Amino acid sequence: MTINRQADRPPSHDFLNRCIPTWRQRMPRRFFLTLTLMLPALAATPALAIAGAIVGWGQEDSGQLGDIPPGNDFVDFANFYATGLGLRSDGSIAAWGYDSDGQVSQAPTGTGFKDVATTYYTGFAIDSTGAIFGWGDDGEGEISGIPTGNNFNQIVGGYYAGFALDDQGYIHGWGDDDSNQITDIPTGGGYTDIASWYANVYALAADGSIAAWGYDSDGQVSNMPTGTGFLDIAASTYNGIAIAADGSLVAWGDDGYGLVSDVPAGNDFIQVAATDLTAYALRADGSIAAWGYDFDGEVSDAPTGGGYAAVYGGYYSGFAITAAEAPPTNAVPEPATAALVGLGALGLLARSRRRTA
């Protein structure tokens, strides 16, 4: 099946002539650390190391796979289009892949950075003071529109745009606003996570409810699930994906390539990521589930077995960070704080993301 979405896209930008969207986000994107569904008897299971090596699969055309830097000290990753940014445990940034506007060659040096993100031709990072730094293309105000201040703790890339959370949970956005993804940002604070891919944006509130706004061609905004208790969110171009309170996956929006109907079963998912038409989810045992569009091996070449601490979507590709050692069943990623919910019963304990205040 072929989906042609060219006519659905905002008209102000030129896209590559492919049968599906050519738009990829970082996945994440950011390094999610999530507590799992587990038996209280396993509460003392050794934790996964939070630093590891980056692995990738899928399309290779600008060195985004072949030039992945060596090392087992990566704690976060971002990819949009064909540029990769890796955040090491000392806060230094490794950049590789597509470099049309200096998004690789102008990446900042030094240490202490806390988060990284990319959009088409622009890189973002939060430095040790909590300020946002940008480099590369500024055609839509991706750099000149960066908010001032030093109270930011998460950043993601969107459609020629950036979004950030401050330390009070307020959402800040800048750059392209073709689908009102900047104009319609929810007011008020208390948000704990944000996700974007094309021009649809999601935010997770402290009670686990989801806010959605922006591009809504296929119900990716208007059909978002209601209720509370959601643990993680991800955005593809025409879909949203979330982890429910019981650890199961929920998807909404367009069902091209089975992104909705082929959601993997189970209630042991701890992190979710997506690209245009492909999605990934990390299980508590460190294994990766993949589904959706598979033209370049985005699904079929996904790694098997356990041993992964985070998963990300990329430009017609997927990426993951390995754990320092293969995770035991129902291991709990660190850092995390657990509260047992009853002897002998499975319980959803808590959710924690890697973030330095």
Q: What is the pTM of this model?
A: 0.81
Q: Does the bond joining 335 to the residue before it have cis omega, within 30 degrees of 0?
A: yes
CATH number 2.40.50.140 is the correct assignment for the domain at 25-348: no
| Mean pLDDT, all residues of the chain | 82
Q: What is the pLDDT of residue 80?
A: 87
**Average pLDDT rounded to a whole number, residues 177-185:** 97
Domain boundaries, the chain: 25-348
pLDDT reported for residue 18? 31
∠ CA 272-56-173, rounded to 5°:
50
- Taking Cα atoms as reference points, which of 70, 74, 26, 24 lies closest to residue 49? 74
What is the pLDDT averaged over residues 249-256? 96
**Mean pLDDT in residue range 275-283:** 95
Identify the CA nearest to 50 among candidates 286, 293, 339, 298.
286
Structure confidence by residue, pLDDT tens digits, 319-353:
999 997 544 444 333 333 333 232 222 222 223 33
Q: Which two tokens stand for residue 133?
A: 């730094």
- Mean pLDDT for 297-315 is 96
Q: Locate all alpha helices (DSSP H) within the chain, ordered by sequence.
A: none
Identify the pLDDT of residue 336. 32
Taking alpha carbons only, the member of 115, 128, 123, 76 closest to residue 97 is 123
Q: Name the residue with higher pLDDT: 277 or 34.
A: 277
Supply the pLDDT for residue 34. Answer: 37
* Distance, CA of 242 to CA of 281 (rounded, Å): 10
pLDDT at 212 over 50: yes
d(CA 266, CA 257): 20
Cβ atoms of residues 106 and 134 within 8 Å: no
Mean pLDDT comparison of 12-21, 144-153, 319-328, highest-scoring range: 144-153
pLDDT of residue 8: 37
| Cα distances (angstroms) measured from residue 146 to each of 155, 175, 258, 337 | 11, 8, 36, 33
Residue 50: per-residue pLDDT: 65
Q: What is the pLDDT of residues 80-137, one digit of tens each?
A: 889 999 999 999 999 999 999 999 999 999 999 999 999 999 999 999 999 999 999 9
Confidence class of residue 315 from pLDDT cuts 50, 70 and 90?
confident
| Mean predicted confidence (pLDDT) in 8-24 | 32
Residue 1 has pLDDT above 90, yes or no: no
Percent share of the chain, pLDDT over 90: 73
Region 221-241 average pLDDT: 97
Residue, of 48 and 173, whose pLDDT is higher: 173
